[in-house]
């Protein structure tokens, strides 16, 4: 039995972008049966970059478990800001290319 591939939010976001801006490429991927593998690969690449960026930004800005323990609201605000920055980079470098 073929392995079920999980397509996460980044893969679905890329699929929507392909449908809107690259219809021929999208149709080719559908027709060749490669769409699921392709989207799973894009999703995995995007998630790896996203997690790496969050870890790097959090370390650079001292957003760590100590901050979480001492000032949870500040930690939430900072980690959300970091996540937004990471998402924008992932969208630019992986999703919308």
Three-class DSSP category at 24: helix
CB-CB contact of 83 with 47 (8 Å): no
Q: Are 36 and 6 in contact (CB under 8 A)?
A: no
Q: What is the pTM of this model?
A: 0.90
What sign does the dihedral 8-76-48-4 (CA atoms) show? Answer: negative
10-residue mean pLDDT profile of the chain (97 residues): values are 79 97 97 96 97 98 96 97 98 96
The confidence score (pLDDT) of residue 1 equals 46
Question: Using CA atoms, how far apart are residues 25 and 31, in angstroms rounded to an integer?
Answer: 10
Predicted confidence at residue 3, as pLDDT, reads 63
């Amino acid at each position: 039995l073929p392995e079920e591939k999980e397509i996460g939010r980044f893969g679905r976001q890329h699929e929507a972008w392909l449908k809107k801006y690259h219809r021929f490429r999208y149709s080719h991927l559908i027709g060749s049966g490669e769409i699921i593998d392709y989207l799973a690969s894009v999703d995995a690449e995007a998630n790896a970059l996203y997690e790496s960026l969050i870890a790097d930004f959090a370390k650079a800005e001292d957003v760590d478990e100590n901050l979480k323990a001492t000032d949870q609201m500040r930690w939430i605000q900072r980690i959300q800001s970091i996540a937004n920055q990471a998402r924008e980079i992932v969208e630019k470098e992986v999703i919308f290319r």
